[in-house]
Structure 1
């Protein structure tokens, strides 16, 4: 994973190696798999339990050169599609002293330093905590935690080793008291989305819960929640280390 400084900004992403693996490795892997399957296409076409048996029967009827061309081209194209999806979905973090920009799945979000009370990684997700105790962003990725920490602390952001609210979460059970009005119904809908792996709906419902003051995190298919609660104390980096607003004012 790369952490690159560009002027006053530090960019953390998967780097060139990640792009090469996706745009070169995926198509080559697909073509190699296609060649292997084409070589035994006649045998596969005669097995009723093999999926896409009509495709293998078609390859078996073609002259050898044409069969290999078609048999390699289709999975190689599938590899390119996967590379496009992977490139679009990878997280790119651009950190400056006054703001951070997150680019993920074709969307960009930018947050001012003044609105962020803490930054940490939770179960491979980069989390930005707001000054009201809620979460401004929770973006899952494979970015290296140490590189993210270096990028944020290098620009004076309040990096935290773990979620300061981790003890406040409770597992969601339908009908559990303590939730704001309407939150239980949203969590039920989100549980259905989790069970069906509907990523877009999961994110939308997280945002809806956030507007009700409910923060949600997932462990597998299980949902855990807390209310935004007491805001975190703002922190500032000094030569003596991190200090809160109250400590600095004294």
Structure 2
């Protein structure tokens, strides 16, 4: 069975390493002169000169160029390695998707899928009932090529969320939600900046029949059609092979 693999572009590490090196060289060439000019300007004021600026102005260009250029190279390599370790990897086949990112792996079966669409930097996979099956980070992956591959392999790709009209802004205490649901929604709002915690909160919400998203700084929520809140719902149905 043919599998198409998507990962971070090879140009990203080159850009980060090259950019860091170039910045270091520029600082090596012009940094000492700029530091001396800044020191002279500050000395005419009542403010003290920062020790780092003063020391940079004392470095001869013969030394500043290799030192700062080398520091820029090392900094670029560090950023490239960090970016590669955090980048997502996605495999697309006719019968499944496999997504890997850091220590998280997710497997989605085609038979469990009702719709697939892009939401900002995520690939959202909905189940046949409209519930959230998976939200997969596709940052830096080529969306045009990915969409073409999904369509060719028979995945139900949509231009946007087929349940877009069902979402409504959530406010704590708004009628229509149980106290348990409000508590889960509060947690989801508080964890919006932590990817892992946000994913866990989304799974807990799907387990009670709710799907969330963020728009214009507000949390929006919809109920899975036909779903009923239940504290006994098994989370395994939401995560599948997430391990």
- TM-score, normalising length from structure 1? 0.73
SS in 2 for 1:208: helix
Provide the residue aligned with 2:55 in structure 1: 58
Do residues 9 (structure 1) and 3 (structure 2) align? yes
Task: Kindly state the Cα deviation for residue 74 of structure 1 after the two structures are TM-superposed.
Answer: 3.3
Provide the C-alpha distance between the structure 2 equivalents of 1:18 and 1:150, rounded to a whole number of angstroms: 23
2:147 to 143, 146, 149: 149
Question: Where does the alignment leave 5 or more consecutive residues of structure 1 unmatched?
Answer: 1-6, 232-250
Partner residue, 2:120: 123
CA distance in 1, matches of 2:170, 2:158: 26
SS in 2 for 1:102: strand
The SS at the match of 1:42 is helix
CA drift of 1:63 comes to: 4.1
Asked whether the equivalents of residues 12 and 147 of structure 1 are also in contact (C-alpha less than 8 Å), the reply is: no
Q: Distance in 1 between matches of 2:218 and 2:13?
A: 33
Check if 1:228 corresponds to 2:224. Answer: yes
Which residue in 1 is equivalent to 2:169?
171
Structure 2 unmatched runs, 5+: 228-243
- Contact kept? 1:120, 1:159, Cα under 8 Å: yes
Which residue of the partner structure matches residue 37 of structure 1?
Answer: 31
The equivalent position to 1:183 in structure 2, one of 157, 167, 181, is 181
- The CA RMSD over aligned residues, in Å, is 3.0
Q: Which has the larger strand fraction?
A: 1
**Offset from partner CA, 1:19-53 (integer Å, 9 cap, x none):** 4323x3343244245334344233445659xxx94
Deviations 1:152-187 (A, max 9, x none): 122222222221111111112121122344232233
Q: Counterparts of 1:137 and 1:39 in 2: how far apart (Å)?
A: 54
Superposition pairs of residues 77-226 of structure 1, within 5 angstroms: 77-140=74-137, 141-194=139-192, 197-226=193-222
CA shift digits 1:99-129 (9 cap, x unpaired): 1111234532111212222111123421111
Task: Give the conservation status (yes or no) of the 8 Å contact 2:35–2:54.
Answer: yes
Cα distance change on mapping 1:16 and 1:188 into 2, 3 Å: same
1:201 CA displacement: 3.0
2:234 maps to what in 1?
none
Aligned counterparts of 2:216 and 2:26: Cα–Cα separation in 1: 31
Describe the SS at the equivalent of 2:117: strand
Change (3 A) 1:37 1:168: farther
- Structure 1 residues 74, 17: closer, same or farther in 2, change over 3 A? closer
